[in-house]
């Protein structure tokens, strides 16, 4: 970001870190980078990159996991995207079990909580 602001000092950059859908025009915003499926009304959307998800946990937890079923002994953290763990169970050919961990509105906060609390998160691989 520093390179951009040096090259374009007349452009104000506003960093807003939430997942609320906002009216860009009403907020005076010309462009936004969002994470998600891109189904936002009154916007043009361009895919910048894929964000495949992976299971993330602290190293001390990872050492104790020998099979995916071992994750039943830990809290599985969630975001508001309710289908993520269901999709993961299906992709891993596992019978789903109840996912009852806290729900976060930010993947970054969820990953931080997993690191600090010894929980397991499902988040974009690039967040490692």
Asked if the structure places residue 88 within a domain, the reply is: yes
Q: Quote the domain boundaries for residue 73.
A: 53-127
* Total domain count, the chain: 1
Question: Which of 36-40, 48-52, 95-99 is least confident?
Answer: 36-40
pLDDT digit string, tens, across residues 92-102? 999 999 998 99
pLDDT digit string, tens, across residues 5-32? 999 999 988 887 777 777 888 888 888 8
Residue 108, pLDDT above cutoff 80: yes
The CATH number given to whatever domain includes residue 85 is 3.40.190.10
Residue 125, pLDDT above cutoff 90: no
Alpha helices (H) in 1-128, listed in sequence order: 2-7, 59-62, 83-91, 107-117
């Amino acid at each position: 970001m520093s390179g951009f602001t040096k090259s374009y000092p007349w452009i104000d950059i506003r960093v807003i870190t939430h997942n609320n859908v906002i009216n860009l025009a009403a907020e005076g915003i010309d462009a936004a980078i969002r994470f998600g499926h891109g189904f936002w009304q009154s916007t043009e959307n361009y895919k910048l990159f894929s964000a495949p998800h992976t299971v993330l946990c602290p190293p001390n937890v990872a050492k104790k996991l020998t099979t995916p079923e071992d994750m039943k002994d830990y809290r599985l953290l969630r975001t508001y995207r309710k289908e993520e763990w269901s999709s993961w169970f299906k992709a891993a050919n596992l019978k789903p079990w109840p996912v009852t961990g806290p729900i976060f509105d930010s993947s970054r906060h969820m990953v931080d909580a997993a690191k600090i609390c010894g929980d397991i998160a499902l988040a974009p691989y690039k967040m490692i």
